[in-house]
Chains A and B, each alone.
Chain A
Amino acid sequence: MRRDRVAEALLSLVAPADHAASTVGDLMEEADARGRLWFWQSVVRVALSLLARDLLAAPLAMVAASAFTWFLYMGLCLVLGLGGYVVVTLIWGGAYILAHHTGLELLVDLLRLRFDWPPIPAWMTYAIQAVVLFAIAPLQIGRSSAPHFRGHELSLVLVMLLIWSAMAVFAPIVGIGIAATPRTMPVIATFVLLGILMERRRAASTS
């Protein structure tokens, strides 16, 4: 990816896409005389300035949106976690039954609606939880919030980092609430950002 496209992608997280493009164009025009280091310094400084301004412009709205997405995240984790667990249990049990039963035993068990299979290994349960809590749910949060926060995405993720961490400390929900701790938030925030970028790419390809 060319440097100007990376810079434009970064700035479009803190400004409307057309403003980000024209700003990068301005900086490219000047970078011919000033060099690559100046270009990147300027990109970062512009991004930080716009980010700070964005955060101060409507802090309460950002906090409210972050708190709302936290509840959305919790709901998603619950639904996807339970759904994932049921699906894996059925696959695990089905595989076990098919591997350990003859055709006749299977028919008898089916008629009695009674199957016995060993419990799912603990590592598999943890893997399902980890994938849902740290990847799928945050990706979905990013994708669903992206259209509502065009040009303000970085502010949202930053406020999310703070608010979700605070909510995890002050309002823990056993099992799910402990996922979004201050220690895990960087991972979750990264996936939220990835979800935002995925949604943006999808929107760009369809428009």
Chain B
Amino acid sequence: MAATPALGEFEQVVLLAILRLGDDAYGVTIRREIATCTEREPAPGALYTTLDRLEEKGLVRSTHGDPTPARGGRAKRYFMVTASGVRAVARAQRAYQRLLKGLVLPGGVYA
């Protein structure tokens, strides 16, 4: 099996947002989902460069939808997480869980 690429924090956030959105993950909805869940609005530049980087790593795949008049006739670029992306984010999250285990932090004790 190919080695799972290491993920940065924002890359994990973006991957999780795409997973949460399912079939409706494109630039606008991904930004909104991240802002809602993290209470921090990502900069557009950071989001699009991260999406491109994730696609180059083979962790997400993008397809273009139909052009819509509301967007000046421009198509949406939909993203979906690949199997490799799912493995990478799960592995990164497990690492976080192991680091948290046994710690007493505001909001609770991590068992």
Give A contacts to B, CB under 8 Å. Answer: 2, 4, 8, 15, 18-19, 21-30, 42, 45-50, 52-53
Contact = CB atoms under 8 A, between A and B. Distances in A.
Contacts of A24: 72, 74
Interface string B47-84: 01100110000000000100010111011110000000
A18 B53 contact: no
Which residue, of B28, B44, B49, has the highest number of chain A Cβ atoms within 10 A?
B44
Interface residues of B, number: 21
Q: Is the interface of B mostly helix, strand, loop or mixed?
A: helix
Interface of B: 26-28, 31, 43-46, 48-49, 52-53, 64, 68, 70-72, 74-77
Contacts of B77: 18-19, 22-23, 26
The 4 closest A-B pairs by CB, nearest first: A49-B45, A25-B74, A25-B71, A26-B27
Q: Is the interface of A mostly helix, strand, loop or mixed?
A: helix
Contacts of A2: 72
Nearest to B70: A29
A21 B73 CA distance: 9
Given A30-B28, A46-B45, A19 B52 contact: yes
Given A26-B26, A27-B44, A45-B45, 12 more contacts: A18-B64, A19-B48, A24-B74, A26-B28, A26-B71, A29-B70, A30-B28, A42-B44, A46-B45, A49-B49, A50-B49, A50-B52
A26 B72 CA distance: 10
Which residue, of A4, A21, A42, has the highest number of chain B Cβ atoms within 10 A?
A21
Contacts of B71: 25-26, 28-29
B94 to A, nearest CB: 29
